[in-house]
Structure formats: C-alpha cells, structure tokens
Structure 1
Amino acid sequence: MADFQPGRVEDALRALGVGRGGMREANRRWQAMARARRAPGALARYRSALGAPESTVVRQVGDLRSEAYRWPLPLWPDLRFEVLTAPGGGVWLEQLVRAPGRPAPPLRTVDDLHPWSCTTDEVARAFAPARPMEGSAPTRWRLAFEAPTVSGGRRHVVAEFTWGLLQRLVP
C-alpha cells in the first residue's frame, strides 16, 4: 500500500506505534515464513500471524464451496481481513472486506471514491457492471467501470486496489 499511499502508511504506522524499522522487520519475517523450504500453507501462515479467526463461514461462489475466515485489524475496525479457501484448504483469495453489520460508504459518483474508504466488492456493486482487470502484483486488482460525475456526466474509471482496499483512480 505504501507504493500508492505513502502518507497514509506513515500515518498508520504512527497510529499503530510502529516505526519503519518495525514494518520492515515484520515484512522480513513474513517473507521468510512464506518462502521457507517447509513453509506452512497460506491459511496456517495467517493463523500464525493473526491468531484464531474471528469467524469462519461456508460460502458458495458459483460451483465452488469455500470457507471464509475473517480477522479484525486494528487499523481498520470497520473491515475484516478475509481468506477464502477451496476444498482441501488451498487459499484462493485474500482481501479486505466490510465487517458484518458495518455500513459501506455511500458510493454514488466518482467523487465518492477516496483511498482506503471502500473495498473491491463495494465499488463493483455500486458501479455495475464493473470489469475486473489484472493488477501489477498478486495482491493488487483493478476494476474498470463507468461512474456518474457530480456535474451530471459520466466518466470511464479504472480503480486500483491492494488487498481489496481502494488505493487510487488511474489517471
């Protein structure tokens, strides 16, 4: 997220009481665990880093029966980190989603799209039909859609997301 929103990341580090060195060390440990010869599976890594999930539910996505694991995050109390697993336990999606019972921000025009305010699913629903596009890294996605403007027109928009959280609109 620091690639897109360095100022917000600095603010988040201060709010969490962590310096840049602490962030680099946490990333180093995560990368070492993920790339170790005998690395645990992705779900086990998340359990190790985040503890027991707050909730686990079965979700049907098309023909795929999936389990959704959700963890609260101190930085975003209205969001949850969600991991979806396929039968057999393989992780196929990791993203931030709105916490149950928390309202999504009102998204009516392109001017309502602010960094770190909404999730991929919320934008896709608000501005349907949205076309998913490949992002620049495995944890990044883009959506292309048409959105109304405050002046009453319409604008073609490409929004970039990291871990399912809006980062920016592509110029």
Structure 2
Amino acid sequence: MHPYADEGPRQVSTFGPREFQLVLLRRMADFQQDLVLDALAELGSGRAEMREANRRWQAMLHSRRDRRSAVGRYRSVLGPPERSGRRALGDLDTEVLSWPVPLWPSLRFEVVSLPGGGAVTEWLVRAPGEPGPDLRTVEDLRPWSCTIDEVARAYAPARPLEGSAPTRWRLGFVAADANGERHEVIAEFTWGLLQRLPHVEPVGDR
C-alpha cells in the first residue's frame, strides 16, 4: 500500500494553495490514482485529507453566506495572482488571472473572468515561456503531460465534447499513431489537464 494512502486528515483551519492542490487532485483521482498518490506523497498528504479539502471547497462553492465572486474566492484561497491581464473573448473584454501550482511547476492555474467576477474558464495552462510537449501521434498523449489548449492546437480541428462532470472537458479529433495509422480519438481532461483517452479507434484512410 502506498505510504500516504489512508492516513487521517490533518486538522487545519486555513484553506490555501496547498489545500487547493488537493481539490485538483481529488477530481483527477477518478482516472489516475497512481499519479495522484505520488502527488499526495509529494505534498505529505493522503486520500483522507484530499477528501476533506474537497468537502470544504464544495462547502465554499455552495454556501449561501459566501457572496464572493469566483475570482474573489480564488484570490482569497490562492492570494494575489502571479499575472493578470485582459483578453478579448468575442465581443467581451475578460480579465485573465493566473497562479503558480507547485505540483506542476511548468503550469499555471488560469481563471478567465467576465466583468463582475464570474468565471468563464478555470483550468491549468502552460506557463509563459515554458516549452510544451511535442504532440504529434497518439502515443504522445500521456496522462498529465499536456493541457486541453495544447491538444486542441496540435490535433486541429478538435471538436469540444460534453464533459462527464463539472471541471471535466473532452475533445474529439483524428490522430495518427507511430506507424501512421489514423485513429478517432477522444481525450478527457480534468481541470484542463489530460487524464486519459477513453476512445481510440482506427478509422483507416479517408
């Protein structure tokens, strides 16, 4: 058994960047338990504390007394953003904020928000200046190796598909394997990070 698998939850009153990373891991544990256990070990944590952090996060999201916007909530948990700026989204002018995530040093947690603080997207992206993976074949699509925007660009045109739960997204696209055979692929992401390929089916030449 993994040494950090089933210890009791820490009794902590704060909820900060460490606890938020546990929230990210809780959703990823549905698909990549071994990777999550390794990440928990890196944090000196375990599944019980991960579940407790997620419970507290969900309580914040659904609290009637918490009137903070999504951006306000992230600021309170993660502190001042590392970077902030503006981005056009169609006719809308959005604010883009990002924070470092120590478990994934080359990534950032990015929130794109509308005027008033409502979030459009809340997910992991590649940090500015960090080299992304070289995505060419199906075999290059390894869990936790790439983000949803990187996959969408590398295997364009990719089709956005409905996710199976909040914070999950899926993309459908055609990609060749290392032998040049083409496949219909569905890639599933949690918090914007690749988790698995639930569908890879040869399609032949078109």
Give the TM-score category using the shorter length: over 0.9
Q: CA deviation at 1:21?
A: 2.2
User: Is 38-47 or 127-136 further displaced after alignment?
Assistant: 38-47
1:82 maps onto 2:110 in alignment? yes
Q: Which amino acid aligns with 2:34?
A: G
Alignment partner of 1:108 out of 125, 136, 139: 136
Identify the residue that residue 124 of structure 2 maps to in structure 1: 96
Mark the structure with the bigger radius of gyration: 2
* 1:47 match: 75
Q: Distance in 1 between matches of 2:79 and 2:53?
A: 15
1:153 is displaced (CA, Å) by 1.6
How much does 1:33 deviate? 1.3
The structural deviation recorded for 1:59 is 0.8
Q: Which runs of 4+ in 1 moved over 4 A?
A: none
2:45 paired with 1:18:
yes
Q: TM-score, normalised by structure 1?
A: 0.96
Other-structure match for 2:13: none
The equivalent residue for 2:15 is: none
**Percentage identity across paired residues of the two chains:** 65
Structure 1 residue runs of 5 or longer lacking an equivalent are: none
- Between the two proteins, the alignment pairs up a number of residues equal to 171
In structure 1, what is the Cα distance between the partners aligned to 2:84 and 2:75? 12
- Give yes or no for the alignment of 1:4 onto 2:31: yes
Q: Which residue of 2 aligns with 1:118?
A: 146
SS in 2 for 1:170: strand
* Correspondence for 1:148: 176
- 1:92 & 1:123 partners in 2: Cα distance? 19
- After TM superposition, the score normalised by the length of structure 2 is 0.80
Higher strand fraction (1 or 2): 1
- C-alpha separation between the residues in 2 aligned to 1:150 and 1:64? 41
CA RMSD in angstroms comes to 1.0
In the TM superposition, what is the alpha-carbon distance from 1:53 to its structure 2 partner?
0.8
Post-superposition shift, 1:88?
2.2
Residue 62 of structure 1 aligns with an amino acid whose one-letter code is G
Where do 1:29-40 residues align within 5 Å? Answer: 29-39=56-66, 40=68
Q: What runs of 5+ residues in structure 2 fail to find an aligned partner?
A: 1-27, 200-206
Q: What is the 5 A alignment of 1:123-142? A: 123-142=151-170
* Matched AA of 1:36: S
- Provide the rounded CA distance (Å) in 2 between the counterparts of 1:71 and 1:151: 39
Look up the equivalent residue of 1:136 and give its one-letter code.
S
* Cα distance in 2 between the residues matched to 1:56 and 1:87: 14
